[in-house]
Structure 1
């Protein structure tokens, strides 16, 4: 119980925080045109759904009857349960649904009733949506996505009065958890853009160069778009052919160099490779005109030139990841057109080249939403990485949004320190010209797989002309680059191709060090006509795919396994050391970028 003075103090504090929250929300009104949001225009798909339901109203009628019967049964079961009788639940959460893990959801008759009522409601809505016929695949995907967002937002776990954990916490803290939650919400709104970027981790616990991105190295080259890091060797001898890593420019490169225990960069260095990695700039409005072509010319191609200066070697092996792999494939096709054979082998990690089925991201890509994105890009000169992060988190909304919403704002707890989530919140912007080209030519029109469908530096490119030996590794649970879609890219290349499928998802399946012995991977030396046929003939192996890649890269002489040279120190060649890794590009946050651009414009 509160004493009167404590209650008055609590009410005053709560009112103060509430006023701050309202002011923060009001200040955001009008900051963005709603038509510029990638979530804006879904009306057409839902209009088509309404038309189909009007044609076949029995879909709704039958589902409503099923829901009514289930609700009657639930009322009866709850009455029996309150009388002390043990009853089996009518509906249960999915095994991977962690929203109802607290014991009171099952042991307390009231909360059990609330939970099952919600699950019945959710099941009914999803059944109705999934049983509608006559919709295009994109319309079905759009409706399913937005329906899922609505249904999961309405979960009783997301509300103070219907979450037993939150209720207990509120009594224990005398409501201070809600005050602390509002304080955190106010702070998160300040650092958000076109959505709510819920804090996922304790950012103060990490510092790039110390406990993340900590593999020793030096920046040896830079231009407007990237810094090139050369890592210090850890072996006396190294492979003759250097290794260049082309990471995505969505977030920072150090997803491949988090901690020493799970760093792909460190592992590669320890295997005897001379490792270089591109650290992309975090662009602001001043780089609005940098195009996809610029990313190729000033990215991999300039990096290869710089590596020759640093090591004396004209040839390189390349590892690429996600959109960095899409760029690498485009670069190899460009080099093939120019008869440039400096890349001895290439590796694509979770990389789309054929965008026929891009997965759930496709829900954001249609002519209407793309027109809105293009208007925003034309207005701002860049796509704010925080807006993209919010959209990506909605692809796994319960795990990447609502769980943190409950923890931070309802329980009033601070998020734990987690390096992967620190990286996930360290977003990067996209230059307007590049992002417009990428979305339209890759996702919307799928021009990359069309011979001559894309022209870079006045050169039409054709992926089928790539004869470079390539290693594709994808992940079986990837929701960003579906492995069945990445497999189509492997079928386009005309040189030797090895396809490997890792367990887990887009990040965990790639960043999977051998010491963990987790997930496993599948191999099949035959590149079958379909991904299903490939998988049917594949053999599963325990542990990480990394050693398999090392065997491939050395046994096929792509890394010159019989030709070892003395270890190369950064700065020992023709390139001088600019600064220590991770470099200034990797440590520049979005707020810093925008401040720097504003200061430049003011001058």
Structure 2
């Protein structure tokens, strides 16, 4: 917080002169900002919110309630007016020296309002309290809209919360004490740095605002992240296959083929040696193959789920079998790759292909009957906008998906970083996980629409069958030994929904685990950290709630439990294998070339 001495220095003529000069530099940068925005391509407006029908239905429902029960509206309004008038009266009293500063302290803990000035300064205290009063009034009004379908109520709550978060006083310079203090302390340099950060972010994404979460200059793929030793032993238009060097003298006969999601890069599982699942797996004595997907451009417009399965999953499995001279592999699929691995296993069942001995799914949805936090984005108006956005280019840009995920946690992943970067002029932190999070991938248009329409919206894999390669694929066709690892606080693939999908699979040997933490931290949870535990229960017959009620809690990572399960399905020990063979020569060192392709390249 700024001290009185600093304020005295800050009000000197010399200080104001330097502040004025810096404000002129801010104005120059703002001109650059205008130029960038003038050349911005833009995106379909339907991706910014629901169509007007939702708000029209909500307004009609609310108006109908008013006509039927006007006393209820008056009660709400009087309460709102009363709180607003009392808040104003308190501010006036404090300004007149008659009241106690920050008298209303019993507000919920909110990191946005950590600066003492939110309580001690009458102006900022008034602004904060009025924002909280307004937020409560909006949420109360939305909760009173009853005459809507459950999905519409969910969407109305979500988008009204987005408006509330967007209008927080912390998001605006005149009502953000941290930013104002920093501007005075630095004589406006923080605003110059912030404007430069904004210009840089817009230029990096062709005029679209995607807030950088990490200092990209601090990381080098293959330098200080994704450093596990391995070789690219195969490449086609869809993927590179990396075979990692063994770290033991002998290995299990059956190799592992790991399929990461193609929405992000594979190195989430190899950020650094201390938490690398890839490194840990090789240390347990396994031959490990990992797929590194291409970051597609417009040339991939007609690539769909069939191409990912045929040229990706099936090809990788065949290559691993060929190189290791075995008939079967153990397969792993993470997130959307776990969903697609399940489709692949159902297809292989139809074809009588027994190349996969066991499967492990990491946070993989296969039953989409409950759309959870993604409900607002999986309705026809939003998906229709995605289809139009794909348009002639045939590719869904990575920032669309990144933005969707980020706004599920808007204050942490959008507004908080934006304030630090653009208002305070700070350099984003050198955080490897956030660097990976910002290194997204585009999606082929055909694949994205198939996934959104057939799996997410119509839930065909769980209800009636999802058609690929002329076959109708069902969850019950997945009948090989399987372990599903889910995460307790995962908002992308909620564990309860994953559980429902595993329940419907046809195998007799099914193991289900719920790790503590979320979509990433619950999976990237090395035993050495001893941070997050996990839940186990062999009874998969009941509801998700019954499963958790009967589950046992286990301290520490699930990795050793999974490895004990896996080694029973991995055969005898054989001499450790060097990457590649005469038919599949080494092409280049890991992490390969595809992982270095940026979405904007």
1:44 aligns with 2:53: yes
Q: Could you tell me which residue of structure 2 aligns to residue 413 of structure 1? A: 426
Match 2:504 to one of 492, 515, 539: 492
What secondary structure does 1:294 align onto?
A: helix
1:365 aligns with 2:375: no
What secondary structure does 1:221 align onto?
A: strand
Measure how far apart 1:434 and its partner are. 0.9
Q: For residues 254 and 289 of structure 2, what CA distance do their matches in structure 1 show?
A: 11
Measure how far apart 1:64 and its partner are. 2.4
Q: For residues 387 and 2 of structure 1, what CA distance do their matches in structure 2 show?
A: 47
Measure how far apart 1:114 and its partner are. 1.9
What secondary structure does 1:533 align onto?
A: helix
1:465 aligns with 2:477: yes
Deviation digits for residues 73-113 of structure 1, max 9, x if unmatched? 434555676546487636523x4x32112232233343233
Match 2:516 to one of 489, 503, 510: 503
1:576 aligns with 2:576: no
Measure how far apart 1:412 and its partner are. 0.8
1:140 aligns with 2:153: yes
Deviation digits for residues 189-248 of structure 1, max 9, x if unmatched? 112268410111110111111111111111101111011110111111111110111110
1:540 aligns with 2:548: no
Match 1:223 to one of 236, 258, 262: 236
Measure how far apart 1:60 and its partner are. 4.3
1:522 aligns with 2:531: no
Q: Could you tell me which residue of structure 2 aligns to residue 92 of structure 1? A: 107
Match 1:197 to one of 189, 210, 213: 210
Q: Could you tell me which residue of structure 2 aligns to residue 32 of structure 1? A: 42
Q: Could you tell me which residue of structure 1 aligns to residue 444 of structure 2? A: 431
Q: Could you tell me which residue of structure 1 aligns to residue 33 of structure 2? A: 21
Q: For residues 176 and 55 of structure 1, what CA distance do their matches in structure 2 show?
A: 53
What secondary structure does 2:367 align onto?
A: coil
Q: For residues 199 and 365 of structure 2, what CA distance do their matches in structure 1 show?
A: 38
Contact 2:231–2:586 (Cα < 8 Å) also in 1: yes
Q: Could you tell me which residue of structure 2 aligns to residue 601 of structure 1? A: none
Counterparts of 1:120-159 in structure 2 under 5 Å? 120-159=133-172
Q: For residues 410 and 276 of structure 2, what CA distance do their matches in structure 1 show?
A: 27
Q: 1:138 to 1:424 in 2, by over 3 A?
A: same
Deviation digits for residues 18-52 of structure 1, max 9, x if unmatched? 11111212222xx23534x4234431111111011
**Following superposition, which runs of at least 4 residues in structure 1 exceed 6 angstroms of deviation?**
none
Contact 2:395–2:443 (Cα < 8 Å) also in 1: yes
Deviation digits for residues 524-559 of structure 1, max 9, x if unmatched? 1111321111111111122211112112223xx212
Aligned residues: 582
Contact 1:258–1:420 (Cα < 8 Å) also in 2: yes
What secondary structure does 1:491 align onto?
A: helix
Q: Could you tell me which residue of structure 1 aligns to residue 360 of structure 2? A: 347
Q: For residues 437 and 574 of structure 2, what CA distance do their matches in structure 1 show?
A: 37
Counterparts of 1:161-240 in structure 2 under 5 Å? 161-192=174-205, 195-240=208-253
What secondary structure does 2:126 align onto?
A: helix
Task: Return 143-152 or 217-226, whichever deviates more.
Answer: 143-152
Measure how far apart 1:356 and its partner are. 1.2
Q: 1:299 to 1:194 in 2, by over 3 A?
A: farther
Q: 1:62 to 1:573 in 2, by over 3 A?
A: farther
Contact 1:80–1:86 (Cα < 8 Å) also in 2: no
RMSD: 1.9
Task: Return 172-181 or 370-379, whichever deviates more.
Answer: 370-379
Contact 1:160–1:410 (Cα < 8 Å) also in 2: yes
What secondary structure does 2:156 align onto?
A: helix
What secondary structure does 2:322 align onto?
A: helix
What secondary structure does 1:393 align onto?
A: helix
Q: For residues 303 and 323 of structure 1, what CA distance do their matches in structure 2 show?
A: 17
Q: Could you tell me which residue of structure 2 aligns to residue 68 of structure 1? A: 81
Q: Could you tell me which residue of structure 2 aligns to residue 334 of structure 1? A: 347
Q: 1:332 to 1:194 in 2, by over 3 A?
A: farther
Q: Could you tell me which residue of structure 2 aligns to residue 600 of structure 1? A: none
Q: For residues 173 and 20 of structure 2, what CA distance do their matches in structure 1 show?
A: 21
- TM-score w.r.t. length of structure 2: 0.93
Contact 1:282–1:585 (Cα < 8 Å) also in 2: yes
- TM-score w.r.t. length of structure 1: 0.93
Q: For residues 544 and 488 of structure 1, what CA distance do their matches in structure 2 show?
A: 23
What secondary structure does 1:435 align onto?
A: helix
1:483 aligns with 2:495: yes
Unaligned runs of 5+ in 1: 593-603
Measure how far apart 1:252 and its partner are. 0.6
Contact 1:502–1:519 (Cα < 8 Å) also in 2: yes
Measure how far apart 1:474 and its partner are. 1.1
Deviation digits for residues 477-507 of structure 1, max 9, x if unmatched? 1111111111111111111111111111111
Q: 1:191 to 1:61 in 2, by over 3 A?
A: farther
Contact 1:91–1:119 (Cα < 8 Å) also in 2: no
